[in-house]
Amino acid sequence: MRRALLCLALASTASLAQSVDPPFAVHLGRARSSLLLSNPSLQALAFVIEPVSFDIASCGDLGLAPLDTARIRLSLSSMSGRIPAKQTRRIFYDARADSLPAWFALKIAFGPARRDAGISMRLELTHFVYLMQEAPVLPHEIDATEALYDPVRRRVSIGVTNQSDKLTRLHSVGLVNVADEETAVEACPLLPRHAREFDFPWSEAAPPRTVRLHFPGFMIERPVRIRPAGQDAGIVRRDSLHSSP
């Protein structure tokens, strides 16, 4: 029993140590790139890579599906292998799509290279890849709702819609106080014809003055309106998807 508990503790520690660098990558057209798998733990690990397609709901939830091989051509230097203790493994990939923009993800599952005493663990990390079109998204192609502050929940909400067929990235959402000091919250990609709804906490005594949406090459600003008492606050949504990646 003592040995089993010790093995379980070591396995749990190792499962928290792995990393994928970078977590996301943005490429113009074709992607010839790589990612680094790290194993800083004291035991060897096995890994398996699964390419997948994904979609992002307005609330930020991620939906995965088998890779759309009809559109995306992907080759990997390796799809599985072993990483010795305290070492890394670089995986190279080449990706292109029949039409742009396109996006996919590499789901990497880590586990022990050898399973002892029936212990089985699995940690999954993801590398997101965005293949961008040449033309940028323009300001008139982005629709932003009014920004609302809920004094009861002490949260700021705003909705953003990409009305174009192009892919872009919302670099950050800036919450601006009455002294014009901006607190930037890292945001997310904005897929074509997709909407995102954000709901951020606010800790200052006075409500925020404006919300600034920072896109590549332009910024959209919306004044903050106080939500009337009794008005439905709607669904509490996650602040962002991934440090998008």
Domain ranges of the chain: 16-132, 139-226
* Cα–Cα dist 32/26, whole Å: 11
What tokens does 142 get? 């982005």
Q: How far is Cα of residue 69 from the mean position of the Cα atoms in its chain?
A: 22
Q: Indicate whether this model's pTM tops 0.85.
A: no
- CATH superfamily name and code, 139-226: Macroglobulin (MG2) domain (2.60.40.1930)
pLDDT in tens, the chain (245 residues): 333 332 333 344 444 479 999 999 999 999 999 999 999 999 999 999 999 999 999 999 999 999 999 999 999 999 999 999 999 999 999 999 999 999 999 999 999 887 664 555 678 999 999 999 999 999 999 999 999 999 999 999 999 999 999 999 999 999 999 999 999 987 799 999 999 999 999 999 999 999 999 999 999 999 999 988 656 555 433 333 334 45
Alpha carbon 204 to its chain centroid, in Å, reads: 27
Fold: same for 16-132 and 139-226: yes
Structure tokens at 41: 């733990």
CATH no. of 16-132:
2.60.40.10
Q: How far apart are CA 52 and CA 167, in angstroms?
A: 18
